[in-house]
Structure 1
């Protein structure tokens, strides 16, 4: 299962909740991608290929080099399509929390200085703003190229809560169905 969305939309949190609810393994792509010093790990693609042949898994849908592979092997794609104001608020708050707490992320990495938002083109906050519509722009092509892949569009935490309640073991629907509250 894949979780798609803009940076800060809540992909990792949603993937964690899906994994807990469905009792399936979660693979965090950022942890597999980033080596020490924010350098891409040479094993990234092979690690993704290895877990994606397992019978059940959930991860974020990101990183160009593995997007197609993940789409080919996924059974469902959950699209976190929150409003830009929600996505950016979450991204800024996450960035501030990580920076002020000096939170260690993957392989010893930490968020860079906050002033980098003014000087670095790919600072996570600038990246999040610049790419905020990218997932929405990709979805029509995903639906066209992978017609058998159910795409579950959730527009809020409430939508995700309702869907998770319905698909949990003993729930009333399959993973490919979603309650229609926010259409």
Structure 2
């Protein structure tokens, strides 16, 4: 477990897990959202985004979170492990709503000066609408993508509690080495 993808639907906790796992295993972590969302919520040009993914995943070891299909042809073949946060919709929605409202209230910067805004919370481009548009499709797509990458060791976690237990097992194995 040296080149690890963290996948899951919007709001499942990919970045949080990737950061924790990166710290635990002493591996560099990258968040694809940070490469994709330029200042003012502008989408990064495709070639710039792909270059970032290429550079990062060319390293010997890493943890990267994100579901962007526009560079999966680079990252997925290079990975050796996929950790799939495959949680039920109500669990993810509760996490997403709590996280989003907290970020709005605290004015937390996400990436490149971007912050979540009250005006876009329920807009057609807002994160909550995005969740409903993509959650079920992404679960199906993840299953299909993983089937096309049999070289990956897949860790499928179906609840936050299962994720915490798995992370504790990884931590115990790490402390032995």
The answer for the alignment partner of 1:82 in structure 2 is 87
Per-residue deviation, 1:17: 1.3
The answer for the alignment partner of 1:61 in structure 2 is 66
Match of 1:97 among 98, 102, 109: 102
Q: Which runs of no fewer than 5 residues in structure 2 stay unpaired?
A: none
Match of 1:161 among 159, 164, 170: 164
1-structure distance, mates of 2:64, 2:78:
12
Greater helix share, 1 or 2?
2
Q: How do 1:136-147 residues align onto structure 2 when only pairs under 5 Å count? A: 136-147=139-150
Residues 147-167 of structure 1: per-residue CA shift (max 9 Å, x gap): 111111001222222222223
Per-residue deviation, 1:138: 1.4
Give the count of matched residue pairs.
170
Match of 2:19 among 16, 41, 45: 16
Q: Which runs of no fewer than 5 residues in structure 1 stay unpaired?
A: 173-183
Per-residue deviation, 1:171: 5.3
2-structure distance, mates of 1:80, 1:141:
15
- SS of 2:35's partner is helix
The answer for the alignment partner of 1:152 in structure 2 is 155
TM-score, normalised via structure 2 length: 0.88
